[in-house]
């Protein structure tokens, strides 16, 4: 896939995305800036975020790019960021929930929530909740459809058998790195579906979708100890050859995100899951409406 062909023009729109200091997020920011979107990069690593901004401006001198600090594993950081952004009075057309960690060992966040669930899901849930009124106002005033995009993963299928372990989120004794990752990615899908359902009932012109960007050679996977172990076992040359066939580069990985965020063919499509810029069927847990509602209530209770 070629990103430039997957993304329609977005001139006059404002995009906010996290985890854009590297990998898919950085490429998404570059492509959207190329399409005339005012890009706001929120990231925990301000040095890398600044580097991405400078690289974009070097390629696209007329681009509008701002950076803001945000730690999605901390609800206090999310609240501070949302407050700072809202106080600017800027409109918000597109929100891309991109940041994430993969198969991390058991650690509790600053809010005493298992780190993958906190970073990959709760942080995004809270941020979306806090920015939703701004998006509703923007949609109403601009008469343009708003879009929320949750970057999930096919790894949602690794989730624990019960899907979301509401009573065992912080249970270290039964913790599995990949199941916990899958749980957080399943939560991204369920969040998009439930929010989409609610907005449809309200008659709000904001679509909410989730997607799998594809296996990409980004640091989220490169830094994973399991994959490093496979490389050591099979040999780097073998793994590199396999990766060349099976793994997407960042341009290909960002294509679906850009498509869902901007393309006119997605207008009016909400509560769906995309793979390779096409609609894709989600396994039963990801289509469970009751599970989505339960997760919503569970999440609202956490962020109180």
Nearest to 112 by CA among 167, 73, 160: 73
Specify the higher pLDDT residue, 69 or 233.
69
The pairing of beta strand 273-275 with beta strand 278-279: antiparallel
In the sheet where 38-43 sits, what is the strand order?
A: 65-69, 38-43, 14-18, 94-97, 146-151, 206-212, 273-275, 278-279
**pLDDT score for 1:** 26
* 3-state SS, residue 103: coil
CATH number at residue 242: 3.40.50.720
Nearest to 262 by CA among 24, 29, 26: 29
CB atoms within 10 A of CB 264: 9
Contact between 98 and 218 under an 8 Å Cβ cutoff? The reply is no
DSSP 97: E
Q: What is the pTM of this model?
A: 0.87
Marked catalytic residue, from 175, 181, 259, 273: 175
How many distinct structural domains can be found in the chain?
A: 1
**pLDDT score for 217:** 57
Whether the predicted pLDDT of 229 surpasses 80:
no
Nearest to 106 by CA among 167, 177, 164: 177
Whether the predicted pLDDT of 32 surpasses 90:
yes
DSSP 105: P
Q: Which domain holds residue 246?
A: 3-303
Alpha carbon 226 to its chain's center: 23
Contact between 282 and 192 under an 8 Å Cβ cutoff? The reply is no
Average pLDDT over residues 199-216: 92
**Averaged pLDDT score across all residues of the chain:** 87
pLDDT digits (tens, 9 = 90+) for 83-117: 999 999 999 999 999 988 988 999 999 999 999 99
Active-site residue flag, 175: yes
């Amino acid at each position: 896939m070629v990103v430039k062909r997957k993304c329609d023009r977005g001139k006059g729109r404002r995009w906010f995305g996290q985890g854009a200091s590297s990998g898919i997020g950085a490429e998404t920011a570059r492509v959207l800036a190329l399409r005339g979107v005012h890009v706001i990069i929120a990231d925990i690593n301000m040095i890398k975020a600044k580097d991405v901004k400078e690289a974009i401006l070097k390629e696209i001198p007329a681009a509008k790019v701002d950076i803001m600090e945000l730690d999605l594993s901390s609800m206090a950081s999310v609240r501070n960021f949302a407050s700072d952004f809202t106080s600017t009075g800027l409109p918000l057309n597109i929100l891309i929930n991109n940041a994430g960690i993969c198969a991390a060992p058991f650690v509790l966040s600053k809010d005493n929530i298992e780190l993958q669930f906190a970073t990959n899901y709760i942080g995004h849930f809270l941020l979306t909740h806090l920015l939703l009124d701004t998006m509703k106002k923007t949609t109403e005033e601009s008469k343009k459809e708003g879009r929320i995009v949750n970057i999930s993963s096919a790894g949602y299928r690794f989730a624990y058998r019960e899907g979301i372990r509401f009573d065992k989120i912080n249970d270290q004794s039964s913790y599995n790195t990949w199941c916990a990752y899958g749980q957080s990615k399943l939560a991204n899908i369920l969040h998009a579906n439930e929010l989409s359902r609610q907005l449809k009932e309200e008659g709000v012109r904001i679509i909410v979708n989730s997607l799998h960007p594809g296996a990409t050679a980004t640091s989220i996977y490169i830094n994973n100890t399991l994959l490093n172990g496979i490389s050591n076992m099979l040999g780097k040359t073998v793994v590199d050859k396999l990766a060349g066939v099976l793994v997407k580069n960042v341009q290909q990985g960002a294509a679906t995100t850009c498509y869902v965020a901007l393309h006119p063919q997605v207008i009016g499509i909400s509560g769906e899951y995309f793979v390779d810029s096409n609609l894709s069927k989600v396994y039963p847990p990801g289509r469970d409406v009751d599970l989505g509602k339960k997760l919503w209530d569970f999440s609202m209770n956490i962020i109180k």
